[in-house]
Chains A and B, each alone.
Chain A
Amino acid sequence: MSSWLDYTINGLIVGNVYALVAVGLALIFGVSRLINFAQGSIYLVGAYIGWVAVVQLHTPLPLTIVLVAVASAIVGLIIERFGLRPLQNSVRIAPLLATIGISFVLDQLVMLTFSPNPRALPSQLPDVRFQVGGGTIGPLDLLIAGVGLTSAILLFVFLRYSKLGWAVRAASQDRDAAMQMGVDVNRVNQAVFGIAAALGGVSGLLVGMYYNQIDTAMSLQATLKGVVAEVVGGAGNVPGAVIGSLLLGLVESYGVAVFGTSYRNLFAFLLLVVVLVLRPNGLFASARQAPPEPLTGTFIAPSRPVRIPRWALLLAAAVFAVLPFFPVSFYVLQTLINAWLLGMLALSLTLVAGTIGQVSLGHAALLAIGAYTSALLSLTLNVPVGLAIIAGGLMSAALGTVLISPSFRLRGHYVSIATLAIGEIVSLVILNWESVTRGPIGISGIPPLSLFGYELISPTSIYWFSFVVMIALALLQGRLLGSHLGRSFRAIRDDDIAARAYGLSLNRYKSLAFIFGGFAAGVSGGIAAHLYSYINHETFNTQQSILALTVVILGGLGNVVGAILGAVALVGLPEMFRIAAEYRILIYGIVLLLLVRFRPQGLLGTM
């Protein structure tokens, strides 16, 4: 029985750690309705500035905290001024992509400056432990709790009772109205980003000291857990973020208690999905609160898509179709195969995210379902590879739609968060369901691609195969978009209330979109499985989902040609920058930022 007390305390301790990141995310979301993917990177920057202060400058703890807070706040202000402010009048989705680009750049800068090796960040507090239940807590636990709670209370008071706080809240409810009332919205944004960044930096420092370890991979995990905690508490709700974090910590701890360590994150993400389904605005959102997203679909603003003449598309397709006849290296072909496979995934995502407005951040799960289905069918039941891939697509369409259906009643950012969680759940189920998926060992010896008994093993034949499949899916999707169905999809995206009033069944159309999209993604995953011959739970990870979304936004939401162009660009760019070795991802991040800055509606525009 005493163990339960220990699990509870441990849950609260780790929830405490999550709260620091979640509060910063909640603050930014509260004002700019933006999930700041760069928050984890500021946390990383804070940790390394702290390391310099502690290990090289030997500053005492209060000075270290001030130093980290100020330096991180400056980074936050720079991000706001140069990364996000230029985008404030553009599509709502552009800032999201910008924060992803900024996080690439910051993470890479830290990695290049400090090397990717983990470092020790010694705690500057005396090493005394207090016995609580069967375990102990130290002064750092108390300091983290203190910082988390104090900052939440201070922010709450600031938002409720200070003039700038009112301005912040006014701006968050209605930016234009606030501006008309004389609120300097830019100053408000600056204040918010400064405070959130300072908090993020200090949390990186404290968490680094807590584990006596900082490394450059810590930023994505911090963002993921912070986002979960924040949304559970009610996005944009600062005290809610603290309670959401503690709840998350508890659920994880009890999950470990009952089922074992490898189920830990499964419970974190299940909690998120359950909360979102039952209380779509988070646990602590009041009923009177204004809806978190505008009622009409300004989330994805329509823009004039670039019209590409039919002959130009035909010509481009013809050029790529005959490319293998020219002396191009297998490396170029393989890179383009990757682009075609990513293109299929992007077609799928651009349909569900762009055309019907369900921005999914868990799309890699559809790849994984298709890949595992196809691999297992061909390996254990000797199903011919071509049929197995189609079965993978069908399975992905069916299972994906069922899994994602709880998110149908959500809107805007909440869809992204729910799908992110569903994606993680799929990956964790693959890891733990060993009797079927073989767990972490993965599936090896997957037969190569073949069609009607002929093995496709030369890069040229794989190139043609994947190109033809992608073009077929693209044509089908183009046809779909031009039909009655496509118009209904767009109607739901642009104004779901009007669409419903007009008699469209939202869930049915959303399911149709996911069925079609799931098939394309599943086929892509199936082909990848046979191409790689080995897959495990890490092959299709969160980074792939983020990459897919980047491709889609870059190409122009809902834009079929844009999705393919985006895939070619985002597969090609990192390969082109290979000459820059360690710097290539940094350059890639900068190019991404510039593209968002100058083409926020995507290269070819929203369709």
Chain B
Amino acid sequence: MSNIDRRTLVKGSLAAMMAGAAFSRTAFADGEPILLGVSGPLTGPNAQYGTQWKQGFDLALDEIVAAGGINGRKLAYNFEDSQSDPRQSVAIAQKFVSNPAIVMELGDFSSPASMAASPIYQRAGLVQFGFTNSHPDFTKGGDFMWSTSVSQADEQPLLASYAVKRLGLKKLAVLHLNTDWGRTSRDYFVNAAKEYGAEIAVTEGYIAEERDFRSTLVRVRDANPDGLVLISYYSDGALIARQARQVGLKQVICAASSVYSPKFLELGGDAVEDVHVGTRYFPEDPRPEVQKFIAGFKKKYNGLEPDAFNAYAYDAMNMAAAVVRIGGTDRKAIRDAFTKVKDVPSVIFGAATFDVATRRVKGAMNAELVVRKGQFALWDGKPT
């Protein structure tokens, strides 16, 4: 009895999987869209970032298709949910590499999920374009790993310069997410801040699920800094800012660009007023690519303000389009096209060109913002 259970179950699952593969294969014919694979979280603890990617992708695709597509063909993506789980991202990787319609892969979100899949993409010769993968070893996985994630070696000195040189802070407390990103960022920040003459009073790493920072903030208070630096995402950044104000810390707060989101303002409320944020773009930025992005985003999503993750995804899709324009649909030619694309218009970089040695993009734009009256505004140089 259960023997039948077992075999039917297994057979059923195999049949369903093969049916899935067959379906995407028949869908591929000339005139059909050029297909990109996306591996990212749509459910699970990181699901919010996957949904933000989608918003950015969809906007970019609308613009690409409206501009005539790629040599007359549409561009489309196939988003597979990995839950940021390495076990699922490797299965997705096999699915993508064995589907000839997929010309390039984007993602995953977390380092364990992304880098676990890298060997599969590398061996199969499919580009893994990890546009949020700041882990310093991500692009070392092989010559098919490319990233437009802002290098923390670039970003953190800019933030340090904002905090130390421009705001004149001399003794800093650094609070960082204790992840590969947060840890790498902290090290670059601390080095740069010291170089600019500031003292680091204390650094505290916290895990992503943490919600209560009161005791951490007592440690910060006892270290007696004149400024707090948050290497955080927007939800935890807002929590820290709120609790800092609640326990009576009145120091200047500076935050990394990853808090740049309307959600930061919503979740932080009054507590994030006067928080300084080093970002890559800002709403009034006169650069045409920024204006186009923000106007288009608000139009498509009923007035919603885009955030940093929307921008990364939007840029990534535009970069993918630029690469496919040069490389066509051959996977290896696409890899080579990454070395050839020049000055692709980008919200984050202004114009993005890959450094062929590191397979990353250097020279992120810089904007020094501050929260004024519940809105992000360009900092006017006045002390807070």
Measured CB to CB, the residues of A under 8 A from B are: 3, 6-7, 10-11, 13-14, 17, 108, 111, 115-120, 122, 129, 131, 134-136, 138, 211-213, 215-218, 220-221, 252-253, 256-257, 260-262, 264-265, 306, 308-309, 312, 316, 328-335, 338, 341-342, 431, 439-442, 444-445, 448, 457, 459, 528, 531-536, 538-539, 543, 565, 568-569, 571-576, 578-579, 581-582, 584-585, 603-604
Contact = CB atoms under 8 A, between A and B. Distances in A.
Contact of B116 (A262, A341, A533, A575): A533
Residue among B13, B44, B97, B183 facing the most chain A CB atoms (10 A cut-off) = B13
B276 interface: no
Given A120-B267, A539-B86, A568-B9, A252 B215 contact: yes
Nearest to A265: B207
Interface string B167-205: 000000001001110111000000000000000000011
A215 B48 contact: yes
Nearest to A17: B212
Contacts of B45: 217, 220
Contacts of B16: 576
B98 interface: yes
Nearest to B246: A136
Interface stretch (B216-224, B317-325, B332-340, B360-368): B216-224
A262 B43 contact: no
26 contacts: A6-B247, A111-B43, A111-B47, A117-B52, A117-B263, A122-B269, A134-B247, A135-B214, A135-B246, A211-B242, A217-B209, A262-B205, A264-B207, A330-B97, A334-B95, A431-B178, A441-B184, A442-B111, A445-B137, A528-B87, A536-B112, A539-B112, A573-B13, A578-B80, A582-B81, A603-B2
A331 B183 contact: no
A328 B140 CA distance: 31
B5 A603 contact: yes
B216 A584 contact: no
Contacts of A329: 17-18, 21, 94-95, 98
Interface in B213-248: 213-216, 218-219, 221-222, 235, 238-239, 242, 246-248
B382 interface: no
Contacts of B141: 444, 533
B13 A538 contact: no
B216 A532 contact: no
Contact of A335 (B79, B91, B110): B91
Given A117-B51, A539-B112, A568-B9, A257 B219 contact: yes
A548 to B, nearest CB: 12
A221 B112 contact: no
Given A119-B266, A543-B85, 6 more contacts: A117-B52, A135-B246, A211-B239, A264-B215, A331-B17, A332-B17
B374 to A, nearest CB: 12
A568 B12 CA distance: 12
Given A261-B216, A442-B112, A578 B207 contact: no
B116 A14 contact: no
A264 B50 CA distance: 29
Nearest to B209: A221
Given A118-B267, A334-B94, A440-B183, A256 B115 contact: no
A136 B244 CA distance: 11
Contacts of B211: 211, 213, 218, 221
A117 B1 CA distance: 45
B252 to A, nearest CB: 19
B183 A439 contact: yes
Contact of B218 (A7, A316, A330, A539): A7
Contacts of A213: 211, 235, 238-239, 267
B44 to A, nearest CB: 8
Nearest to B5: A603
Contact of A334 (B80, B91, B242): B91
B116 A531 contact: yes
B153 to A, nearest CB: 14
Nearest to B14: A332
A129 B215 contact: no
B94 A535 contact: no
The 10 closest A-B pairs by CB, nearest first: A532-B116, A534-B115, A116-B47, A572-B13, A334-B94, A10-B214, A331-B95, A256-B215, A135-B247, A444-B137
Given A215-B48, A256-B219, A329-B18, A440 B269 contact: no
A117 B9 CA distance: 36
B373 interface: no
A103 to B, nearest CB: 13
Contact of B180 (A7, A217, A536, A603): A536
Given A334-B90, A533-B118, A261 B112 contact: no
B42 A604 contact: no
A131 B246 CA distance: 10
A440 B43 CA distance: 23
Contacts, number: 253
A569 B205 CA distance: 38
Given A122-B269, A334-B90, A445-B140, A328 B47 contact: no
Which range holds the interface residue count of chain B?
A: 35 or more
Contacts of A328: 14, 18
A440 B178 contact: yes
A265 B21 CA distance: 44
B10 A440 contact: no
Contacts of A442: 111-112, 135, 180
Given A134-B247, A329-B18, A538-B112, A260 B204 contact: yes
Contacts of B14: 328, 332
Residue among A135, A440, A535, A574 facing the most chain B CB atoms (10 A cut-off) = A440
Residue among A252, A538, A576, A579 facing the most chain B CB atoms (10 A cut-off) = A538
A213 B17 CA distance: 39
A134 B221 CA distance: 10
Residue among A135, A581, A582 facing the most chain B CB atoms (10 A cut-off) = A135
B28 interface: no
Contacts of A539: 86, 112, 116
B210 interface: yes
Contacts of B3: 308-309, 312
Interface in B1-57: 1-3, 5-7, 9-10, 12-14, 16-18, 20-21, 42-45, 47-48, 50-52
B88 interface: yes
B119 A261 contact: no
B215 A7 contact: yes
Interface string B90-118: 11011101100000000000111001101
B207 to A, nearest CB: 7
A331 B112 contact: no
B214 A13 contact: yes
Nearest to B213: A261
Contacts of B6: 316, 565, 603
Contacts of A333: 94
Contact of A116 (B51, B79, B111, B222): B51
A420 B239 CA distance: 28
Contacts of A115: 48, 51
A120 B43 contact: no
Nearest to B96: A331
Given A329-B98, A538-B110, A581-B81, A338 B48 contact: no
Contact of A6 (B175, B218, B268): B218
Contact of B216 (A256, A459, A533): A256
Residue among A13, A212, A312 facing the most chain B CB atoms (10 A cut-off) = A212
Contacts of B183: 439-441
A58 B219 CA distance: 38
A262 B210 CA distance: 10
Interface string B235-275: 10011001000111000000000000001001111000000
A212 B43 CA distance: 23
A354 to B, nearest CB: 17
A576 to B, nearest CB: 5
A130 to B, nearest CB: 11
